Amino acid sequence: MKSDHFGIKKETINELMSRLRRSKLSKREIIWILVFLKSKKPSSMNSEIIDLPNLDQAISSIIVAAPSILPLINSGLCRELLEEKALAWITEDKIQHDWIKNKIDKTLTSKNIKPRNLHGIAPTKITSKDFLIATIDTWSIELSEKNDIVTNLKNEWQSKRNPYNHFSWALNADESYISTCIWDWIKNNNTHIQPLQTAFKSLEEVMQHFNQVSTSEYELEAIKKYAKNRWYQKTYRENLKGKKQQNLVLSEKAISRLKLLSKKHGIKRNKVIELLLKLETEQNLYLKQALKIMHIEE
């Protein structure tokens, strides 16, 4: 991936900042300017503008040949770009990006908003997050309306209605197994299954499914509970490997001592017994002496 200036010489950036009377230009602003110039001067810009070998020359030529475009750039940056804090909730998470794109497509269609064409920006040359934000930045609508849309997206993403907030815990567990559990619940309850649809293998596939269907919070909670129970049962069984249950009858004094040792060292009671047995087997420190004392007392 290229630098924040996409191969444009520092001198050209400085000249652009000077003519725009700006003290700095962020990568986000440069991307917006490139898309804007592409829309205004298509003949001067290659189809893949960020991958254009002579991008620096193209930018320089436009600055010199069309100075009247500079006020349009300045006003556009002020008119179309939200403050950074309004977009701070957007992360590098691809699952989040897919969710936002899906919601954006529906919003743009319902509101008849036509974004500026980003096909001139090669997605491989900027991050998925940069591309997503560039999509939002280039909506030619009132900034207040844009802010309302983004705020609504943020609130919905963070709400309990969002399936991701019910299943993101799977990323820190066995994602594949939990995704299968979610599939099993949906299949067994005959809910939203499409013909030829196959079992989920990842949380990304789970989210792709929920992006396409409407699911109530109650249903999401039921699926989460089912998947978590299956996951806990699986981990419990795995933890029992190499172990067998033994029923021991202990005196009340022995039980009190066991509780005391467990609390003192912050470990479970069965672990106390296991450690003492291991130590005695390896070092033979206590039993022999204890048996002698018991014999003398008898």
Number of other CB atoms surrounding residue 292 within 10 Å:
10
Q: How many residues are recorded in the chain?
A: 298
- Can you give the pLDDT at residue 30? 83
- Can you give the pLDDT at residue 96? 92
**Gap between the Cα atoms of 168 and 172, Å rounded:** 8
- Can you give the pLDDT at residue 289? 78
- Can you give the pLDDT at residue 54? 60
Q: Considering only CA atoms, which of 144, 25, 137 is closest in space to residue 80?
A: 137
* CB of 134 closer than 8 Å to CB of 32: yes
- Can you give the pLDDT at residue 41? 65
**Gap between the Cα atoms of 218 and 29, Å rounded:** 42
Cα dist from 94 to 1, 23, 130, 190, whole Å: 18, 33, 12, 29
Whether this prediction's pTM lies above 0.85 is answered by no
HEC sequence for the chain: CCCCCCCCCHHHHHHHHHHHCCCCCCHHHHHHHHHHHHHHCHHHCCCCHHHCCCHHHHHHHHHHHCCCHHHHHHHHHHHHCCCHHHHCCCCCCHHHHHHHHHHHHHHHHHHCCCCCCCCCCCHHHCCHHHHHHHHHHCCCCCHHHHHHHHHHHHHHHHCCCCCHHHHHHHHHCCHHHHHHHHHHHHHHCCCCCCCCCCCCCCHHHHHHHHHHCCCCHHHHHHHHHHHHHHHHHHHHHHHCCCCCCCCCCCCHHHHHHHHHHHHHHCCCHHHHHHHHHHHHHHHCCCHHHHHHHHHHHC
- The one-digit pLDDT tens for each residue of the chain (298 residues) are 344 566 677 777 787 788 788 888 788 888 888 888 777 766 655 555 555 556 667 777 777 777 788 888 888 888 899 999 999 999 998 889 999 998 998 888 888 887 776 655 554 567 889 889 988 998 888 999 999 999 999 999 998 888 888 988 888 888 899 999 999 999 888 767 777 788 899 988 999 888 888 888 899 999 999 999 999 998 888 877 777 767 778 888 888 888 998 998 999 888 888 888 888 888 887 787 777 776 655 4
- Can you give the pLDDT at residue 1? 39
Q: Considering only CA atoms, which of 40, 55, 78, 96 is closest in space to residue 208?
A: 96
**Gap between the Cα atoms of 75 and 138, Å rounded:** 13
Number of other CB atoms surrounding residue 71 within 10 Å:
11
Number of other CB atoms surrounding residue 243 within 10 Å:
9
| Domain spans of the chain, in order of start | 10-80, 84-158, 164-239, 252-297
